[in-house]
Amino acid sequence: MAFRQDTTELSEARRRIEILVGDLPRPGVGGAAADRSFEHPWELRAFAMAVAAYHNGQYEWSEFQLSLIESIRKWESDGGGEPWSYYEHWLDALETVLAGNGALSDTALDDRTRAVLSTPKSANHHEAHREPVAIDPAR
Amino acid sequence: MSTAVRTTEEIAARVKALEALMIEKGVMTTEAVDRLADIYENEVGPQLGAGVVAKAWTDPEFKARLLQNATEACAGLGIGGLQGEDMVVVENTDTVHNVITCTLCSCYPWPVLGLPPNWYKGPAYRSRIVREPRKVLSEDFGLDVPDSVEVRVWDSSSEMRYWVLPQRPAGTEGLDEKALAALVNRDSMIGTGAPKAA
């Protein structure tokens, strides 16, 4: 798919500006984990998906941001009971905007999530394969 | 949708399911998501902003343009994109120290600073930095702003994103742009830290 202009600009910016000696900033609030942008792989994935869907023209970025603000506001007004997870709100916002424009149905996502969960991680790897998987015979 | 506390495994499965559905719909491809993840994880980062700061420290004409219109000045260096459309740079001086936050969510100038650290997005920083900025800077970040210096907290939104032009450290007169950029770290552009000493 074709990215919008800004992705190309970012790549060019990277090429043009030398990677300067990185100075890891001090940990700030909460130590090293707090200083990272992503804590789990799914967070980066959810992040990139929101940008990809935006590039695909599914919504205006401001729509996504309003949805994100609303999700966080709701969490705060509910007393912040669940443990704080920024990217859960991000995912919530993404689901909301995609459902809002008809690209996603909640039921379909729930069903597919159950399917993913019920598929063993090693679905295709739970048996030892004792023979070569391919042979290119001697000629 | 956040009706119950979900385990990491459940959330990861939901993200995977969402990606699969969106690929089937033609909204995205695996390659596009991979590429974006790579760009934002590895390529966009505070080193870009550090280069802009170093240029402003050495080029008064550029600095004037940066303070006048940060988005345009950065675009001239090939830096721009999503969440960088309306950037405003606020300058630290002998009498003013600036610090940025986003009280509503996590608005942040991605093209120059990369993605925000977790603490920037958390409720604690977002609320406390507004109520007691001097205390938060001192206690959480070890940055003691003298009483003679005013602290200004800037609230970024989707309409306008702030970032900080820190003061050039003393004793750096002989350094070139590249050496200066190496002194600029992310927190100094958020306002929760100072650049490294020369």
Domains of chain B: 8-42 (no CATH), 45-190 (3.90.330.10)
Question: How close is the nearest chain A Cα to the Cα of B121, in Å?
Answer: 7
Check pLDDT > 80 for residue A21: no
- What pLDDT, on a 0 to 100 scale, did the predictor assign at position B117? 87
The yes-or-no verdict on residue B121 having pLDDT over 50 is: yes
Contact yes or no for A52/B36 (Cβ under 8 A): yes
Does residue B191 register a pLDDT over 80? yes
Of residues B43 and A42, which shows the higher confidence score?
Answer: A42
Q: With a cut of 70, say whether residue A114 has pLDDT above it.
A: yes
**What would the pLDDT profile of B15-32 be if each residue is shown by its tens digit?**
999 999 999 999 999 999
| pLDDT value of residue A27 | 34
Mean local confidence (pLDDT), B67-86: 91
- Amino acid in the structure at residue B105: C
- Domains of chain A: which residue ranges? 39-117
Closest of B117, B169, B90, B93 to residue A26, by C-alpha: B117
Percentage of chain A beyond pLDDT 90 is 40
User: Residue A113 and residue B106: Cβ atoms within 8 Å?
Assistant: no
* Rounded percentage of chain B residues whose pLDDT exceeds 90: 72
Q: What is the DSSP letter of B115?
A: S
Q: Which residue is closest to A24 within chain B, CA to CA?
A: B185
Mean per-residue pLDDT, B73-91: 91
> Do B141 and B193 meet the contact criterion of CB atoms below 8 Å apart?
yes
CA torsion sign, B16 to B19 to B25 to B29?
negative
- The Cβ-side half-sphere exposure at B67, using a 13 Å CA radius, reads 12
CB-based contact B36 A106, cutoff 8 Å: no
Q: Give the percent of chain A with pLDDT over 70.
A: 70
Is residue A84 left, alpha or beta, with left meaning phi > 0 and alpha meaning psi from -120 to 50? Answer: beta
| A122 pLDDT above the threshold of 70 | no
Reply yes or no on whether the pLDDT at A25 is more than 50.
Answer: no
The answer to whether the complex's ipTM is over 0.90 is no
Res. B186: pLDDT tops 60:
yes
Q: Which of A11-25, A54-68, B125-139 has the lowest mean pLDDT?
A: A11-25
Q: Contact, B120 vs B191, CB < 8 A? A: no
Which chain B residue shows the shortest CA-CA distance from A102?
Answer: B25
Checking if the pLDDT of A87 tops 60, the result is yes
A81 has pLDDT over 80: no
Identify the pLDDT of residue A35.
76
How far, CA to CA in Å, does A95 sit from each of A77, A108, B19?
20, 12, 11
Q: What is the pLDDT of residue A67?
A: 94
Determine the distance in angstroms separating the CA of B114 from the nearest CA of chain A, rounded to an integer. 9
Query: What's the whole-number mean pLDDT along residues A59-77?
Result: 90
> What does the block give as tokens for B102?
């986003």
> Is there a contact between B102 and B117 (Cβ–Cβ < 8 Å)?
no
pLDDT in tens, B30-61: 999 998 888 888 778 899 999 999 999 999 99
Q: How far, in whole angstroms, is CA A118 from its chain's centroid?
A: 21
Q: What are residue A43's DSSP bridge partners? A: none
Residue A119 has pLDDT above 50, yes or no: yes
Residue A109: pLDDT over 80: yes
Q: Give B95→chain A minimum CA distance, Å.
A: 24
b/e map B39-68, b = 16+ CB within 10 Å: bbbebbbbbbbbbbbbbbbbeeebbebbee
Residue A125's pLDDT band (cuts 50, 70, 90): low
C-beta separation of B21 from A113 below 8 A: no
Active site residues of B: 102, 105-107
Mean pLDDT within B128-154: 95
Cβ-based contacts of B106 with chain A (< 8 Å): 68, 86
pLDDT of B132 reads 95
Is B153 in a helix, a strand, or coil?
A: strand
Q: What average pLDDT does this structure show over A85-106?
A: 93
Contact criterion met (CB < 8 Å) for A94 and B36: no
User: Do the Cβ atoms of B47 and A22 come closer than 8 Å?
Assistant: yes
Query: With 80 as the cut, is the pLDDT of residue A26 above it?
Result: no
DSSP state at residue B146: -
The predicted model scores a pTM of: 0.73
- Mapped onto helix, strand or coil, the DSSP state of residue A63 is helix
